[in-house]
Amino acid sequence: MRPAAARTQLTFVRTQLKNNTADRLESRSALPWPIQLAVPVASLITFGIHLLFSKKWPPLETRSYVLLFWEILGVSIVLSIAQSFWAGLRQWMRHMWPIFTAAILLLGLWDVITSGMHLLPLPYFPGPATVLRSLISDRALLLDSTWHSLVLLLSGYTLGVIVGLVSGVCIGWSTSVRYWGMPLLKVVGPIPATAWIPLAMVVSPSAIVSAAGLIALAVWFPVTMLTASGVSNTRASYLDVARTLGAGRAYLIFRIAIPAAVPNIFIGLFMGLGASFLTLVVAESVGVKSGLGWYVSWAQGWAEYGKVYAALIIMAAFFSTVMTLLFKLRDRVLVWQKGMIKW
Amino acid sequence: MVMTNVAAGSALRVDEVRKSFAVPDAPGTRRLVLDGISFSMAAGELVSLVGPSGCGKSTLLRLIAGLDLPDAGDLLVGEEEILGPSAERGLVFQDPNLFPWLTVRRNIEAGLVARGVLHEKRHEVDEFTRLVGLGAFGSAYPHHLSGGMSQRVALARALINHPKVLLLDEPLGALDAFTRMRMQDEVLRLWENRRTTMLLVTHDIDEAIYMSDRILVMTRAPGRIDRTIDIKLLRPRDRTSDSFLRLRSQILEHLHFAGKAADV
């Protein structure tokens, strides 16, 4: 190498090194002040808004909301101190703090619109303090409703998935089952499960059983459809290779076609999960006398809209947790696809 | 490591085999792909099949593998007629076709699992993983492997069943020139080690001369075996020797002619 070229090379390497060190220092150093302060400042702003507008409210009514702010403030200060000793926490805060800040500010905006300026009619749009109060005062019933919803959801979903997998594999693998099964699937499948409610009420002895059946039906269609297409689209060369390795039919179905269909099956599982949430809530508000869907329509009947929103918050947390668990399961099962999944 | 000097392969006989396919665009008509193919291979022989693309080489291999059945003619391994696929006839494609949901190790043991003999033969999995030089990659997934490594796994997966005939459909076709030459030696080493009968389909004349005992030259549309060339050179062969180059130009000339004739 010529000296000049060598020098350029060296400078390049040195710059690289310097950049690397800079990166490393960046990630090791304390969280920047703006990020550290964002959550406490946001909660102070929202709290200020609340104090400004709530003078006319009796203090008892919003005590829990005020308490919530003291808690947020306290926790955020403790975490700001803790993060200088704990890199993992710092990483997490760097990622999550902007979101939390926005959420707290949105709470303030909500307060301004409802209890502040009365832009939306009461009692349909209560302020955040009222909702929080309902959430806390009615927690026993809410917890009980969540539990009932969970049991109903899981039993219906599991049943739908099992039946859907079996029928999907049969339709996908066997041409004669496909011939007879596919038209049925195409005609019956697209009917929303909730449209069967009148029939389900007549046929089934108990509302819970018919609700579980409807959820299962809602899940069954997408799972069957996607499983069948995954199985029937198994690469022919995988099957050829397996045959020359001495594979029989059971091996071809269970060790080749089904694993090859798993990415598709998961799409079906996600679609089915969405459909099952919908069916669950509708079935609960129509026939079943328990669960979050029932709670919402019951609270609405008493015009207690604070409770309606409290139940919606619980529902959001509950459904997104279930969804997250399914994502985790997918990441674990599809580890062989790592780097190929984009959703 | 398994070291057998006895021929583990079987003789193969292909007799007047014809095969045609329905033409999708014109219902009722059929296109003749193989028109009376006949040849035989001794146990443990390594034979190459070369010819212009579309001459039915892959079709012939699929017939021998038992994945398709011929319209007419006989296919025999030893004394047995080929009626369907079997673990006795391994097949390796140009695309390694590794099962992406299985690790390297699980891919290699797939044949043992499929035949239900994993329990007795588990020790061979390590043996074959090492035989193709992938001892350190047992728990890797196929998408982490390079083309050459994937093809080694595919070879190990086919060999673990101790096939009497190994069919190779352009197995090195997708590899770069250097990897390809290294893999040619690798395949030769496996062949010398196992003495299985090997039928190699290739586009690459050099590869055919370098590796095989005999070359079958096919013509196109419909496919026929046009010529058989015995390669008497001693192994390891020198790709730059006069006799090598002479054979090369001889085959090229022939193929060029055959290609032209078919195009007219």
Give A272-299 pLDDT, tens digit per residue.
999 999 999 999 988 888 999 999 999 9
Whole-angstrom Cα distance, residue B62 to residue A318?
Answer: 54
Q: Which residues of A134-162 are buried (b: 16+ CB within 10 A; e: fewer)?
A: bbeebeeebeebbebbeebbebbbebbbe
pLDDT of residue A339: 62
CB pairs under 8 A between A and B: 73
Q: What is the pTM of this model?
A: 0.84
pLDDT of residue B13: 93
Q: Compare B2 and A334 and report the one with higher pLDDT.
A: A334
How far is residue B219's CA from residue A243's CA, in Å, rounded to a whole number? 29
Q: How confident is the model at residue A121 (pLDDT cuts 50, 70, 90)?
A: confident
Mean pLDDT of A203-223: 92
Nearest-Cα residue of chain B relative to residue A250: B114
Whether residue B262 is predicted with pLDDT greater than 50 in this model: the reply is no
* Amino acid B69: pLDDT: 94
Share of chain B above pLDDT 70, in %: 94
Q: In this complex, do B143 and A336 lie within 8 Å of one another by their Cβ atoms? A: yes
Give the model's pLDDT for residue A157. 97
A164: left (phi over 0), alpha (psi -120 to 50) or beta: alpha
pLDDT at A341 over 60: no
What element of type H or E holds B41? strand B30-41
Tokens 């079997």, residue located: B86
**Test the A interface: residue of B99, B139, B166 with most A CBs within 10 Å:** B99
Shortest distance, CA A264 to any CA of chain B (angstroms): 14
Residues 6+ apart with CB under 8 A from B64: B12, B14, B75, B82, B89, B165, B167, B199
Amino acid letter for position A110: W
Number of H helices, E strands in chain B: 8, 10
Contact B33, B57 (CB under 8 A): no
Cα(A100)–Cα(A113) distance, integer angstroms: 20
CA distance A327 to chain B (A): 18
Categorize the per-residue pLDDT at A114 as very low, low, confident or very high, splitting at 50, 70 and 90.
Answer: confident
Percent of chain A with pLDDT over 90: 55
User: Alpha-carbon distance B94 to B202, whole Å?
Assistant: 10
- Residue with token string 């920047």: A32
Q: In this structure, are residues B73 and B223 in contact, taking their beta carbons and an 8 Å threshold?
A: no
| pLDDT tens, position by position, B235-255 | 889 888 999 999 888 888 877
- Indicate the range of A59-63, A145-149, A303-307 predicted with least confidence: A59-63
**Closest to B95 (Cβ–Cβ): which among A237, A248, A340?**
A237
- For the cut 50, the answer to whether the pLDDT of residue A1 exceeds it is no
ipTM of the complex: 0.89
What is the rounded CA–CA span in Å between residue A169 and residue A232? 8
- Give the model's pLDDT for residue B5: 42
B141/A247 touch (CB, cutoff 8 Å), yes or no: no
- Residue with more model confidence, A180 or A36: A180
% chain B with pLDDT above 90: 51
What local confidence, expressed as pLDDT, does residue A83 receive? 85
Q: What is the pLDDT of residue A31?
A: 77
**How confident is the model over A241-247, as a mean pLDDT?**
95
- The length of chain A, given as a count of residues: 343
Is a pLDDT exceeding 70 seen at residue A115? yes
Alpha helices (H) along B195-231: 205-211
Amino acid letter, A139: R
Q: Would you call A246 and B161 a contact, using CB atoms and an 8 Å cutoff?
A: yes
Interchain proximity B102–A247, CB inside 8 Å: no
Pick the residue of A245, A253, A258, A334 with the most B CBs within 10 A to test the interface with B by mutation. A245
Give pLDDT tens digits for A71-106.
Answer: 998 998 898 888 888 888 888 888 899 999 999 999
CB A212 within 8 A of CB A283: no
Q: What letters, b where the CB count within 10 A reaches 16 and e where it falls short, cover A216-237?
A: bbbbbbbbbbbbbbbbbebeee
Q: Could you tell me if B157 and B123 are in contact, meaning their C-beta atoms sit under 8 angstroms apart?
A: no
Contact A246 B87 (CB under 8 A): yes
User: Comparing C-alpha atoms, which of A66, A142, A63, A140 is closest to residue A309?
Assistant: A142
pLDDT band of residue A176 (cuts 50, 70, 90) is very high
> How far is it between the farthest Cα atoms of chain B?
58
User: Whole-angstrom Cα distance, residue A280 to residue A287?
Assistant: 11
Residue in chain B closest to A333 (alpha carbons) equals B101
Residue, of A29 and B123, whose pLDDT is higher: B123
pLDDT at A91: 87
On the CB side of A216, CA atoms within 13 Å amount to 17
Instruction: Report the residue from A245, A262, A339 with minimal CB separation from B111.
Output: A245
